[in-house]
Structure 1
């Protein structure tokens, strides 16, 4: 439990500063600490829900609610397909695959983009929301596809964090409900672990959001790209243990 809290606290500082990345960082660290995959997925979703609710309230004036609705609604079929995948495919294949996807997303984010901000199309929001939902229930690492979408749109840091927070609340709620219905996951039985990680997550998230308000936009984008690629590589490595 202590190891999980330390991993979550550290990951939440990064997640609070970047708007995402808590699960990206916490997942490989918890794997290396010997925590089970099922426990990691549930902890990441629950802590993500709690911390993103706080972030959404704080940044509510910066949220594009239409985009959040499209991304979040589209995550439902993806999350359901993810549960089917988990029931059919051995989990040792899922983590390396998620790591590869994260690295690819980071590389795509580093490519040159248009000088002027370009809001994502309706079709792009739906497609990326579906992919994010799929990764939520398979690995809990649902950030990279949505981060890539919003990063290419060159949103200001606070809008970027706010839209991600709204999306994570919707997809996290739907995914947790699906896991409860279609698998043997019982979050209530994990309450001691969850309560400790929630406390660590809230503290780390608060510190991270304080840091985010003091980061220049270009440096913020560079840090996000490095975070996505680094977390993807760490996930691939941790899957070998």
Structure 2
């Protein structure tokens, strides 16, 4: 990989990790378009996103473990297993472009609906809601690496406090991304070349960006945090749709 691409990729991943550290998600949506413009293949982008997000979320799990809602994380992860397996199979019959477009459209609709009712704090979701969000996240993880959108929508709708929001997503990402990487490796669709060349450098950039994001997170009020999260969800959905249509 060219030095210029390596350096530009480091900046992109550091920024994406900063957003992820501050809000708990959005890493893939920030990084994906820029990494594709740098010339990475879709497979390399998925491998990069899953790997760097896994690394940074493990750090968050350790730092924010006291804020985790363990039952919700367990349900999200449980739902992600069949979703991830189905996602790999779906790639043989459905294009990534169509999956991304549908996911973006659904996330946009849900994000706008939540944004129109910002002041309402909803009761904790029943078992079916986190299982469904986990399933959809797993499906998107092995196809597009956009596995954060469904759980983020769930937590935003639940009115989770900022640090719980970030901690729960970190627990989910740590397990879900590990599963997705294992499945991709077993299916021989993991971009091994990116793991052995660029990723060691990009991992450092991701950890640095994540640290800055975690410093910012506690300094955002709950109301502003939720507004920011919904803005990122809506923008992410629009970016995903644009990428699918491009």
- The whole-number CA distance in structure 2 between the counterparts of 1:230 and 1:15 is 14
Q: Is the 8 A contact 2:67 2:164 kept in 1?
A: yes
> Is residue 2:57 matched to residue 1:67?
no
Q: Is the 8 A contact 1:23 1:141 kept in 2?
A: yes
Q: Is the 8 A contact 1:5 1:197 kept in 2?
A: yes
Corresponding residue of 2:36: 31
Shift of 1:123: 1.1
- The whole-number CA distance in structure 1 between the counterparts of 2:90 and 2:59 is 31
Corresponding residue of 1:112: 117
Point out where structure 2 has 5 or more consecutive residues left out of the alignment. Answer: 1-5
Secondary structure of 2:51's counterpart equals: helix
Secondary structure of 2:189's counterpart equals: coil
Point out where structure 1 has 5 or more consecutive residues left out of the alignment. Answer: none
| Deviations 1:140-184, CA, capped at 9 Å, x for gaps | 001111111111111110011000100011111111111111233
- The whole-number CA distance in structure 2 between the counterparts of 1:117 and 1:94 is 29
Q: Is the 8 A contact 2:9 2:35 kept in 1?
A: yes
Shift of 1:114: 7.6
Corresponding residue of 1:88: 93
Q: Please, what TM-score do these two structures have when normalized by structure 2?
A: 0.91
The size of the alignment, in residue pairs, is 241
| Deviations 1:100-125, CA, capped at 9 Å, x for gaps | 23322321321326844511111111
Shift of 1:92: 3.3
Corresponding residue of 1:227: 232
Secondary structure of 2:197's counterpart equals: helix
Q: Is the 8 A contact 2:53 2:173 kept in 1?
A: yes
Secondary structure of 1:88's counterpart equals: coil
> Is residue 2:242 matched to residue 1:237?
yes
Secondary structure of 1:16's counterpart equals: helix
- The whole-number CA distance in structure 2 between the counterparts of 1:205 and 1:90 is 32
Selected match of 1:147 from 146, 149, 152: 152
Q: CA RMSD in A?
A: 1.8
Secondary structure of 1:97's counterpart equals: helix
Corresponding residue of 1:98: 103
Q: Please, what TM-score do these two structures have when normalized by structure 1?
A: 0.93
Corresponding residue of 2:3: none
Q: Which range moves more in the overlay, 136-145 or 230-239?
A: 230-239
